[in-house]
Structure 1
Amino acid sequence: MDSSSAAAPTPEGPEKPLSAAERVEYTRLRRAADMRHRRLRYVVTCLLLALSFILAPLGVVAAWVDSQMSDTDRYVQTVAPLAKDPSVQSAVTNRVTNKIVSYINTEEVTAALTRALQKTGAPPIVVDKADVLAGALKSGATSAVRTVVNKVVTSDQFADVWDAANRRAHMAMVNVLTGKGGSAVEAKGDTISLDIGTVISQVQKKLVDEGFKNADKIPDIDKSIVLVKIDQLSKAQDAMRLLNIVGVWLPVLVIVLAALAVWSGPSHRVAMMSASVGIGVMMVVLLIGLAFARGKYLDSVQPKVQSPQAAAAVYDELVRFLQQSTRTVLVIAVIVLIAGYLYGPGRGARWIRSVAVRGTGSAGRGLARAGLRTGGAGRWLDGHRGWTTGIIIGAGVLTLFLWNFPTPGVVALVLGIVVLVMLILGILAAARTAPAPPGPGPGLTGDDG
């Protein structure tokens, strides 16, 4: 038989053990394959993280736009404080007063007074100075009308009218973003205006009650007040329409991308911390962008169109919930980052974990010494710490997910409850059995121990 054929392994027989050179080559190939696989995972993780970072601020804005579109109560809650804002009340008072006074013909009143003086035979010097009263007459009328208007605007009825008008037009923000009319809030050209026709009617009625008998004969005037003036409103509308289309799905997509990045990463903990850092940074960028947009917007508003104070109040109220949502996501990102660090191998993380374990262990042993032993339930909790911790954290995450627009305070509350429950379970697990009594001395055997 040929020697080469004798050395060949049969299909049924065992394979020959690898030689030293073959084992080295096999190890090299395995390492190369693992390296390629690891590099591929790094590339996929980086791409997913980059996408989640880019879409995170857009997701927050999209969720804000979607909530303002579909939730009437939330929209009314957004604009309701404007009715009590002094700058907005002043702007409405000035607008209504100027419009009403513009229809008071002081020149005609002055001419009538001149004719009356001439008929009564008044001295010429008195007749010639009658036109001086025109300015005083207009100033007095303006002051009187402003007083009445201010009473209406600062009353509780004005706040009710304001809320009712916005509630009836619960799709007003849709009209603003799409440029459609037909509601209390309309977008025309580069301005966003609020219809205050009901307020005008109340002011006319109040003027009649105050003694201005002809106030109800004032012709129809412009019954709108400019809330916002934006030079490029049409471009903003186009962008908001796109965000309104994606709606609530964009935030969900961001969460899915971040979860896939954590799952595909070679180190899940590092990928989770990277995702929290990136999303947190993007939330800070969004807050800075909102502050920058506020400055640009106020610079673009002309004082003759709207007072700077009223424009600032309107902008702040309209983006209030957007800023709140951004801060909430930022707080969650910081919490996830801290949690990822505490579960890591760092010296500080190990020290914090050891302190928590010693604290819960001491408290549990104290309960056991007092006779409050948990027995089998405590042993089960001690043997399933990973499961119970995951369930508690998952319940906290689900609570925030189901909460209707959580605030940073809500996030802090849920976090406190999660930590408290984990500490309580740790104490119950440590109280499963009574602690061993102290031994007689250093001469303990293994069985005694």
Structure 2
Amino acid sequence: MSDSDEVRRLRERVAQLEAELAAGQHLETREPAGRRESWRTVVSAVLITLACLLAPLSATAVWASRQVSDTDRYLETVAPLAHDPAVQRTISDAVTRQIFAAVDLQAITTDTLNAISRQGLPPRVTANLQALSGPLVSGIQSFIRGQVDNLVASPQFAAVWRQANQTAHASLVNLLEGRQGGALSAQNDTVTLNLAPIIAQVKDRLVANGFSLASRIPVVNTSIVLVQTDSVTKAQGLYRLLNTLGSWLPIIALFLLALGVYIARDHRRALLLGALGVAGSMLVLGVALTLARVFYLNALPAQVISRDAGGAVFDTLVRYLRYGLRAVAVLALIVAAAAFFTGPSISAVRTRAGLTKGIGYLRGRTESAGLSTGRVGAWTFAHKRLLLIASVVGGALVLTFWSRPTVSVVVVTACVVLLAVALIEFIGRPPAGDARPSAPA
């Protein structure tokens, strides 16, 4: 073998070894990077999942701390029940039963007729009076029931209802916090309602309206069973937990969601999945409320309150919770839609291109008609990104500081933000000679 062949062979061997060494170093650098990317994905998924799990608890915590614990908001919540026909019928029946139990109408009627008979009336007239005993009692009972029904259905009853609920609200909070006393109590897994405060209010109203017979009603210190179930103590523990967390739980959930989106490799995809997860958790909360309503009505004693009245009470108490979960679900779907249409999919790209083309066409028609944005358009084009960010942040602040945002508030706010974005795109006019197309928002 010649020296030149040996040199060539050694060079080839060296080149082979260098290639193998470079490949090994490349694998060593790629493997830790791959592990880092994998850990980012796992941590992001865990954080977003925790945020989605905390979302329904956050909505419930806000409802418990603001709607149930706050007296003014509680009274505002239960005020419509005073006008609900099923609730009015239940209250009227309960009050009428207590009046009939406290006042012996049969004895009063018999004594009155006997007193009239002793006034020297003919025997025939006396016999006829005794025959009228039954119809008179029935007529008086009908009169009393009619008076109670009229009072309960009158506008004045709303004030009585508010006063009774204002008195009972402290007892309701005591019940949910596990303390006894007042109009409501929970013992041996049974929830009872003391009728004394309500009957006293109705009694005073009846006397004030000229029904003096109601003055004979003594102080009624009786209770009726509302719920008899082994879940009362569990509900008390859940209420104390949610009321303690209060407004902190939504902040924690939002922080976890934002952190998960930030850690993720694909921020847009993580935001899309997180928003869909929050919307799904709100759907689960809605199903849970429906099941809780069925459970509550099944645990409600039929001899105490009708299912219609019980359903009206449940629906009224949780209506703001339902409004809240619907608003959060719609907001999450809007965020998910925004994340999708800013992505690289064909439909998203075509949608953005179509909107940009449409806005550009309108701008061109306006300028051809002699209308130009001038310096305002140039300034808007130069600060377009800042203005777009300000529009989105403004919409977020509106929803954040709105006391009780509903679905309509969320939709209107989203429409206003979209309109602001469209106006910024429309007004933002490139400087003369700048051929760059307007970047789609």
TM-score tier by shorter-chain length is 0.7 to 0.9
Instruction: After TM superposition, give the deviation of residue 383 of structure 1 in Å.
Output: 4.2
Q: Secondary structure of 2:334's partner?
A: helix
Alignment match, 2:201: 199
Give the superposition deviation at 1:114: 6.0
Residues 176 and 187 in structure 1, CA contact (< 8 A), matched pair in contact too: yes
Q: Which residue of 2 aligns with 1:187?
A: 185
2:428 counterpart SS class: helix
| Residues 200, 223 of structure 1: 8 Å contact kept | no
Give the direction of change, closer, same or farther, for the CA distance of 1:412–1:104 in structure 2 (3 Å limit). Answer: same
Is the deviation greater in 97-106 or in 82-91? 97-106
On the 8 A contact 1:106/1:138 being kept in 2, the answer is yes
TM-score (norm 1): 0.83
One-letter amino acid of the structure 2 residue matched with residue 238 of structure 1: G
Report the secondary structure of 2:102's partner residue.
Answer: coil
Q: Which residue of 1 aligns with 2:41?
A: 42
Deviations 1:231-269 (A, max 9, x none): 232221111111111111011111111111101111101
1:27 is aligned with what amino acid?
A: H
Separation in 2 of the partners of 1:235 and 1:73?
26
Q: How far, CA to CA, are the matches of 2:34 and 2:75 in structure 1?
A: 57
| CA deviations over 1:129-177 (Å, ceiling 9, x no partner) | 94x7655443222211111111211111110222244346664542231
Deviations 1:8-48 (A, max 9, x none): xxxxxxxxxx9433332232222212210111001101111
2:336 paired with 1:348: no
How far did 1:301 drift? 1.1
CA distance 1:200–1:273, change in 2 (3 Å): same
> How far off is 1:375 after superposition?
3.9
Measure, in 2, the Cα distance between the counterparts of 1:197 and 1:120.
Answer: 41
Instruction: Please report the TM-score for the alignment, with normalisation by the length of structure 2.
Output: 0.84
Please show how residues 94-243 of structure 1 align to structure 2 within 5 Å: 94-109=93-108, 112=111, 113=113, 122=123, 126=127, 130=130, 135-167=134-166, 171=170, 173-180=172-179, 186-189=184-187, 190-191=190-191, 193=193, 195-206=197-208, 209-210=210-211, 212=212, 214-222=213-221, 228-231=226-229, 232-243=231-242
Aligned residue pairs, count: 412
d(CA) in 2 for partners of 1:32, 1:40: 12
- Whether the 8 Å CA contact 1:68–1:74 is kept in 2: the answer is yes
Instruction: Give the aligned partner of residue 279 of structure 2.
Output: 280
- The one-letter code sitting in structure 2 at the alignment partner of 1:318 is L
Return the structure number with greater helix share: 2
Give secondary structure in 2 for the equivalent of 1:266.
coil
The one-letter amino acid of 1:342's match is F
What CA deviation, in whole Å up to 9, does each residue of 1:82-117 have, x standing for no partner?
Answer: 011111111111111111112232443465346875
DSSP-derived class of the 2:184 partner: strand
For the residues of structure 2 that align with 1:256 and 1:264, how far apart are their CA atoms?
A: 12
- Which sections of structure 1, spanning at least 5 residues, go unmatched? 1-17, 437-449
Which deviates more from structure 2 when the two are superposed, residues 135-144 or residues 232-241?
A: 135-144
Which deviations, in whole Å up to 9, do the C-alpha atoms of 1:364-398 show, x marking residues without a partner? 22333344333444334334433322221111111
State the distance in 2 between where 1:97 and 1:206 align.
Answer: 17
Q: Give SS of 1:196's match.
A: helix
The residue identity in structure 2 corresponding to 1:196 is: I
Distance 1:116 1:429, change over 3 A: closer
Q: Which amino acid aligns with 1:25?
A: G
> What amino acid maps onto 1:253 in structure 2?
I
Residue 304 of structure 1: SS of its match in structure 2?
coil
Q: CA RMSD in A?
A: 2.9
Q: Distance in 1 between matches of 2:247 and 2:127?
A: 74
Preserved CA contact (<8 Å) 1:110 1:133: no
CA contact (8 A) 2:54 2:249 kept: yes
CA separation of 1:388 and 1:26: change in aligned 2, threshold 3 A: farther
Cα distance in structure 1, aligned partners of 2:55 and 2:316: 23
Contact kept, 8 Å, 2:395 with 2:414, in 1: the verdict is yes
The 8 Å contact of residues 178 and 241 in structure 1, kept in 2 or not, is answered as yes
Q: Distance in 2 between matches of 1:298 and 1:218?
A: 32
C-alpha distance 30-253 of structure 1, shift in aligned 2 (>3 A): same
Cα separation, 2, equivalents of 1:419 and 1:383: 20
- 1:14: which partner in 2? none
Instruction: Go from structure 1 to structure 2 and tell me whether the alpha carbon gap of 1:80 and 1:429 turns closer, same or farther (over 3 Å shift).
Output: same
- Structure 1 residues 229-238 or 320-329, which shifts more? 229-238
**Secondary structure of the corresponding residue to residue 95 of structure 2:** helix
Report the secondary structure of 1:305's partner residue: coil
CA 110–362 in structure 1, closer or farther in 2 if over 3 Å, else same: closer
User: The residue matched to 1:282 in structure 2 has which SS?
Assistant: helix
Determine helix, strand or coil for the equivalent of 2:185: strand
8 Å CA contact 1:400, 1:406 repeated in 2: yes
* Percent identity of equivalent pairs: 34
Using a 3 Å threshold, how does the CA distance of structure 1 residues 414 and 140 change in structure 2: closer, same or farther?
Answer: same
Counterpart residue number, 1:427: 426
User: In the superposition, relative to structure 1, how do residues 239 and 177 fare at CA in structure 2: closer, same or farther (>3 Å)?
Assistant: same
2:278 paired with 1:251: no
Q: How far did 1:62 drift?
A: 0.4
> Do the aligned residues in 1 keep the contact of 2:110 with 2:133 (CA within 8 Å)?
no
How far apart in 1 are the matches of 2:61 and 2:401?
Answer: 18
